[in-house]
Amino acid sequence: MRWPQIVPVMTLPNAILFPQSLLPLYIFEPKYQAMLRDALDGDRMFVIALARCPCGNSPLAPHDVGGLGLIRACTDNPDGTSNLILQGLTRVRILEISSENPYRQARIEPIRSVNSSGIDVEALMLRVLEIAVAAASSIPGMPPQISEFLGKLDDPDTLCDVVSSTMVSDIQSRQRLLETADVRKRLNELIPCLTRASSRGGEKNGA
């Protein structure tokens, strides 16, 4: 797929968009309503970027790394708001903010994953899968089919992103995983995140 060089950027205080993931969004701010209209008339893509500091009255400054998404479905509401589903396509680096009006736009470049093969990566992948399957039963609301689904993923990059998106709740941990292009390092960082998620799930369930 050919990526655009300049795209709208939606900066949020609590949302991360990983490749392969689906993110439901409710669009109600006028600037984002304008952004959505333009995106739907164009290539249907925009970036979700986590805000560096979600405070104060100034425009939220985004992290340098975000997720480029494609609008898969969009429903307009009678009051002018919209509900949409955004599918994560790739990590991107925000190189330069090119405009702030009527909404933020930025020049971006895609971030390619590296070190996604090798015996050590396969071993880490199996360890992540083992912990993820164990953690799935401890995390409230996790679909029972998730273990079977994860077991069918044979690409460590995809496995890592799917698990990060569905099982890691801490927003700063999610951002660090998004920013890590090296798959080997990302798998290593994901293991303690999953261990903590499993422990929290056990505590909530009274274990």
Residue owning tokens 């470049």: 109
The pLDDT of residue 74: 97
The pLDDT of residue 140: 67
| Check whether domain 6-110 has CATH 3.40.50.11310, yes or no | no
The pLDDT of residue 56: 54
Which are the contacts of 141, defined by CB distance < 8 A and separation ≥ 6?
none
pTM: 0.88
Q: At what angle do helices 156-167 and 119-136 cross, to 10 degrees?
A: 30
Q: Are 65 and 179 in contact (CB under 8 A)?
A: yes
The pLDDT of residue 206: 35
The pLDDT of residue 197: 67
Pick out the chain residues at pLDDT < 70.
54-59, 140-141, 197-207
Chain CA centroid to CA 180, Å = 12
The pLDDT of residue 199: 66
Which DSSP string do the residues of 50-101 spell out, in sequence order? EBS---SSSPPPBPSEEEEEEEEEEEE-TTS-EEEEEEEEEEEEEEEEEE-S
The pLDDT of residue 198: 63
The pLDDT of residue 204: 38
The pLDDT of residue 57: 54
The pLDDT of residue 146: 78
**Domain range summary for the chain, segments of one domain joined by +:** 6-110, 119-204
For residue 139 the two structure tokens come to: 């995390």
The pLDDT mean for the chain works out to 89
